[in-house]
Amino acid sequence: MAPDRGPVTGPRSRRGTTTLEFLVAATIGFVVTGAALALCSAGNRAVASLAASEAAWQESRAALTQWSADWRGSGYDPALVSGAAVTRLAPDTMELSADWNGDGTLLPTGSNPNERLSYAVAPGVFRRGVNGGPRLAAAWPDSALFRYRDRAGADLGSRPDPGAASIAVARLVLPTSRGAPPPVAEWTVARRNP
C-alpha cells in the first residue's frame, strides 16, 4: 500500500517547482543562513573578547601579585652584610635585590635565583628579569608605568633616588574592545625593609 502523502490540492503541487521559485527560495535561504552565521560570528567574537579580558585581568593580577611581593621585600637583608637594596628606579624599569636565603650574599644559585631582580614595563610587555635574564611574566598591558612616592606619600617624580622611594605604584592599561574605555589596574605597594 502506498504511504499516505496527504491530500494533493491545487495546481502548484501538480506542477512542481519552477526555476524562478527555486532561485528565489535559494536566495532567501542564503540570506537567512548568512544572517544566522553572522549572528554566530558576532557571538563568537564577543565570547572571545570576554575571555581575553578575563585572561588579561587574571594574568595582570598574577604578575602584579608577584611584583608586589618582590617590592615589599626588596632590600631584605637579615645578615646585614649583603647590601641588598633598590638600585635603580625609572618609569619603565626597576632593579632591586634581596638576600632571600640569608646567606649574606646576593650571588645567584640554582636553588635561589631571585635575589637580583629587575622589572620592565612597556606597551605589550611586563617582564620580570631574574639575574639579568628577562623572563616574560605577562604580556597584556596596552601601556604601563611605575610611579614612586616617599614614605609620607609625596610624589618623587619619574626617576627618584632609590633610597628615598618607599611606595611604588604600578599602573597598567589593559586591552579593550574598540570604543570601550580601557580598564586600568593600579597597584600601590609600600616597601617594608629599611
Partner 1 sequence: MTSAPRPAERGTALAVVLWALVALGALALAASVGAVVDLRLAIRYREHAASLAAAETALAEALAAVTRDPARAARADSVTGAEGGATWRSRWSPTDGRVRLGSTGSVGSATREIEAWAEPSGAGWRITAWREIR
Number of residues forming the site for partner 1 (CB under 8 A): 29
Segment lying near partner 1 (by CB under 8 A), choices 38-46, 106-114, 128-136, 154-162: 38-46
Cα–Cα distance measured from residue 84 to residue 2, given in angstroms and rounded to the nearest whole number: 95
36 part of the interface to partner 1, by CB under 8 A:
yes
Residue in the structure block whose three cell numbers are 639579568 = 132
Find the helix or strand (DSSP H, E) in which 86 lies: strand 86-90
Residue 89 or 185: which CB sits closer to partner 1? Answer: 185
Measured between alpha carbons, how far is residue 170 from residues 31, 120, 126, 141, 192 in Å? 50, 11, 11, 11, 17
Residue 143 beta carbon to partner 1: minimum distance, rounded to whole angstroms: 22
N- to C-terminal Cα distance for the chain?
99
SS3 content of the chain, % helix, strand, coil (to 5): 30, 25, 40
Q: Return the C-alpha cell found at 88.
A: 635603580
Cell of 70: 618582590
Q: Return the range that interacts with partner 1 (CB under 8 A); candidates 67-75, 111-119, 147-155, 173-181.
A: 67-75
Member of 69, 122, 139, 184 binding partner 1 (CB under 8 A): 69
Residues 123-162: x where in contact with partner 1 by CB under 8 A, - otherwise, as a string:
----------------------------------------
Q: Which residues bind partner 1 (CB under 8 A)?
A: 29, 32, 35-36, 39-40, 43, 46-47, 50-51, 53-54, 57-58, 61, 65, 69, 72-73, 76-78, 80, 98, 100, 192-194
